[in-house]
Amino acid sequence: MNILKNAHRLPVLDWNLNFFGGHSQKVDDTWIVPLNKHQAFELIFVVNGQEIVNFEHDSYLLNSGDFVLIPPGFIHTVSAVKNLTYFCFHFDIDDPSFVVGLIQNSPIYFPKDSSVNQEITPIIEDMNKMISSKVYSFKDKMNLQIYLSKMLLKFNSLINKQPTVIGSSQSKYAKTISEMIKNEFNDHVLYFATRFLNGPDNQKIQVPEMPTIKHIMEATGISVGYGNRVFRSVYGLSPCDYLSKLKLKWAQQMLAKPQYNIDEIALVLGYSNSTHFSRQFKRWTGVSPKKYR
């Protein structure tokens, strides 16, 4: 008997929306950020003054009110020109369709007089106004997430109006690989994390190896080399880097739950021992799992 056969459903929200590195500062004219890249989007807004953002083949001079949106994996440098005060933050969302669209179809540079800038700047300014020295409350964090969501909706409207730049077959393969990695990994973690939680205390649970990225790509009918190239061209990072992001997300969530010990978390996430996991977690976050907890 299907008790929901006539139900009209809302979508399942199975994504992770991250906001981090948000800060504002006034710097002197010799200030420079050396060559770097990130695994998330970076937005830099010039509050006052001027700065230059350099990429491999392009440079942008930003004046007060301009901003840039730097996609994941883009190598760049940033330097002050004159009287610079800027606001910067990073964000990421593991929704493959949106990320592909934003990377492919959004410009990097948004001058002050552009229509998109004028729609998004009020949201950026509201986010910047939230900066303070106080401890941020739950309400503050929820308001920040609302601002970020409003901004992403504005970007979504923009990318839906733009023609696709990268071939549709490449986008399709990259999205398929991304979704398969996410689904396979999430299913694996959820199944064995639940067994650790619900099994007898004295029961030793054997966690089999997770499907490899090679296995996932072969399931799509493409070679590993081609799959890696397509994935990087669309998302700006490798499939291994994407899997690392998923592992970090789950590690942080499980460390927040005292019922899981660090050995169990390491095992569920595919590490041979807790030492290997702890070393990798410190590379990601700068602190050990014990200190993070």
- Which of the following CATH numbers is that of domain 17-160: 3.40.50.300, 3.40.50.150, 2.60.120.280, 2.40.128.130? 2.60.120.280
Is 90 exceeded by the pLDDT of residue 48?
yes
Between 169 and 85, where is the model more confident?
85
Q: How far is CA 126 from the centre of its chain?
A: 22
DSSP character at residue 211: P
Q: Would you state the pLDDT for residue 57?
A: 78
What's the confidence (pLDDT) of residue 199?
58
CA atoms of 193 and 197, how far apart (whole Å): 6
Q: How many residues are listed for the chain in this entry?
A: 293
Q: Could you tell me the residue ranges of all domains in the chain?
A: 17-160, 168-292
Are 116 and 77 contacting, i.e. CB atoms less than 8 angstroms apart? no
**127 HSE (CA, 13 A, CB side):** 30
Q: What is the pLDDT of residues 84-126, one digit of tens each?
A: 999 999 998 877 778 878 887 888 999 999 999 999 999 999 9
Structure tokens of 292? 């993070």
Q: How far apart are CA 112 and CA 252, in angstroms?
A: 38
- CA-based max dimension of the chain: 71
Angstrom distance (rounded) from CA 263 to CA 290: 11
pTM: 0.68
What is the C-alpha radius of gyration for the chain, rounded to an integer number of angstroms?
21
Q: What are phi and psi of 199, to 5 degrees?
A: -80, 165
Q: What is the pLDDT of residues 243-279, one digit of tens each?
A: 998 899 899 988 988 888 898 899 888 888 899 999 9
Q: Which range (74-78, 90-94, 212-216, 225-229) has the least confidence?
A: 212-216
Q: What is the pLDDT of residue 202?
A: 45
Residue 44 carries which DSSP code?
E
pLDDT for 194: 72
End-to-end Cα distance, the chain: 45
**Of 160 and 74, the one with more pLDDT:** 74
Say what angle helices 168-198 and 96-105 make with each other, to 10 degrees. 150
- Its CATH class, for the domain covering 168-292, is mainly alpha
pLDDT at site 46? 98
Looking at residue 171, its pLDDT comes to 73
168-292 has the same fold as 17-160? no
Q: In this predicted model, which residue has the larger pLDDT, 31 or 194?
A: 31
Question: Which residue has better confidence, 13 or 118?
Answer: 118
Of residues 43 and 291, which shows the higher confidence score?
43
Which band of pLDDT confidence, cut at 50, 70 and 90, is reported for residue 62?
A: very high
Split at pLDDT 50, 70, 90, the class of 198 is: low
Cα–Cα nearest to 109, from 149, 167, 170, 63: 63
How does strand 17-26 pair with strand 67-70? unpaired
Is 64 within 8 Å of 112 (Cβ atoms)?
yes
- Helix or strand run (H / E) with residue 160: helix 138-160
* pLDDT (mean) for 209-234: 80
